[in-house]
Amino acid sequence: MLVLSDCPGKLAGLIPEGSWSEVEEAALTATDGRVWRALGPAGRLWQGHLESLAPPGFWSRALIVGEAPGSQFDALRELLGSDLELPGPTACLALSGRGFHGQRGRPWLAAPGNLHLCVAFPEPGLAARHASLLAALPTVSVIDAVRSLTGGSLQPGIKWVNDVLLDGCKIAGVLTSTQTQADRIGAVLLGIGLNVATAPAVDTTPFVPSVGCLAEAGATVTVLDAFVGVLDALARRMGEIESAGPGPLLEAYRAASLVIGREVCVFEEAAEGPMAGSPARPLARGTVRGIGDDLSLVLDGVDAPVTRGRLAFAEHCDPLGR
């Protein structure tokens, strides 16, 4: 995998420092230059190669910047919406940055030592009917990676739809965007934020009552370990989807779910406020009996599956009179 970076001195645990070579932006391919100008800061640029990822040959490019000037997810989504044709699966890592966000534009603090990753899969060869299931890909891959990196000592789970919790604390959140062409998915873009070294100081809500990180849970994992671990997990899950369909991914998502068997409240999505602007009453409330093939929630006493909204566990809603 070709790696482009403005901070090779910070990546010694990934690529030996002596193996980097400085390169002029003008010497890059048209595609690489375009992506770097959109995602990377101006200044000196180096290239290297990373060969240790599994399965071999899956990843095409990685762009790693010391500080991203803005949301790499937004920049890459804009590029993919134009006529950009990536040469293959591409990963973008920011060691720090500004303007990052989660779902519905909610701010995501980019603390040094944490993972801020965007991944693009051009032409993944998937049917458009599987688009909704791809929201499970980054969450399950984060679960896979954390379990692998810690030898199974840490067992995070998934709070519907896409929060990853460890011992009740949110440690990761993801974004998913798909582009479809007729009955096929033309591209998949994922954004993954994983708290590795630091639990950012954020205002908690019933939706996110506590925030944590891998270090607080006793894991001796670096951001570069997490980078490699998540890329390995994503590649293996993508290969699994291509060979066996989405069934195994769906089953892994259900197996890691923290909501099945628990009473929950689901509110309208909104960006801000103590209950994120939610109305006084939830859209739905009940005990989760299952997760549908489209990731919808099946609740006791609710006639139709719940396909949208923001979930809080009932014990975090009751004190507010919900």
Q: Choose the weakest-confidence range: 54-58, 89-93, 247-251, 262-266.
A: 54-58
Q: Is the pLDDT of residue 271 over 70?
A: no
The per-residue pLDDT for 220 is 96
Segments forming the whole domain that contains residue 128: 2-255
Q: Are residues 165 and 302 in the same domain?
A: no
CA dihedral sign of residues 102, 105, 106, 112: positive
Judgement on whether residues 207 and 292 belong to the same structural domain of the protein: no
Average pLDDT over residues 183-194: 91
Using only C-alpha atoms, the chain has a radius of gyration, in whole angstroms, of: 20
The pLDDT value recorded for residue 69 is: 86
**Residue for token digits 């670096």?**
222
Of 255, 276, 305, the last residue of a domain is: 255
Provide the pLDDT for residue 78.
92
Instruction: State the pLDDT at residue 192.
Output: 96
Query: Is residue 212 pLDDT above 50, yes or no?
Result: yes
Shared domain check, 185 and 79 = yes
pLDDT of residue 203: 83
Mean pLDDT across the stretch 196-225?
94
10 — pLDDT class (breaks 50, 70, 90) = very high
Cβ atoms 248, 266 nearer than 8 A: no
Same domain (yes/no): 168, 299: no
Q: Do residues 101 and 75 lie in contact, with contact meaning Cβ atoms separated by under 8 Å?
A: no
As a whole number of angstroms, the longest Cα–Cα distance in the chain is 63
| CATH code where residue 227 lies | 3.30.930.10
Q: Residue 286: what pLDDT?
A: 96
- Cβ count within 10 A of residue 10: 16
Q: Which of 203-212, 265-274, 291-300 has the highest mean pLDDT?
A: 291-300
Q: What is the pLDDT of residue 6?
A: 95
Q: For position 277, what pLDDT does the model report?
A: 46
Domain count, the chain: 2
For 15-67, the pLDDT digits (tens) are: 988 899 999 999 999 999 999 999 888 889 999 999 888 888 899 999 999 99
pLDDT at 233: 97
Q: Are 93 and 179 in contact (CB under 8 A)?
A: no
- Pair (160, 200) in one structural domain: yes
Sign of CA dihedral 14, 40, 142, 144: negative
151 & 281 share domain: no
Q: What is the CB neighbour count within 10 angstroms for residue 299?
A: 21
Q: What is the pLDDT of residue 318?
A: 63
Residues 250 and 268 in one domain: no
Residue 228 has pLDDT above 60, yes or no: yes
The residue among 255, 273, 306 that closes a domain is 255
Write down the mean pLDDT value for the chain.
Answer: 90
Confidence label for 276 from pLDDT (cuts 50, 70 and 90): very low
Looking at the structure, tell me whether residues 230 and 303 fall in a common domain.
no
**Whether residue 270 is found in the same domain as residue 239:** no
Residue ending a domain, choose from 204, 234, 255: 255
Whether residues 292 and 237 fall in one domain: no
Per-residue pLDDT, 272: 45
- Domain shared by 15 and 157, yes or no: yes
Query: For the whole model, what pTM was predicted?
Result: 0.93
Distance, CA of 116 to CA of 110 (rounded, Å): 7
The tens digit of pLDDT for each residue in 156-172 reads: 999 999 999 999 999 99
Q: Which residue has the tokens 């790499």?
A: 72
d(CA 197, CA 123): 34
Whole-number pLDDT of residue 70 = 87
Q: In this predicted structure, what is the pLDDT of residue 98?
A: 82
Provide the percentage of residues in the chain whose pLDDT is more than 70.
Answer: 94
Is the pLDDT at 95 greater than 80? The verdict is yes
Are 71 and 220 part of one and the same domain?
yes
Q: Is the dihedral of CA 125, 130, 134, 140 positive or negative?
A: negative
Cα dihedral sign for 75, 77, 82, 83? positive
In angstroms, what CA-CA distances link 302 with 250, 254, 266, 297, 298?
Answer: 22, 20, 12, 10, 8
Quick check: 238 pLDDT over 80? yes
Neighbours of 219 (CB within 10 A): 20
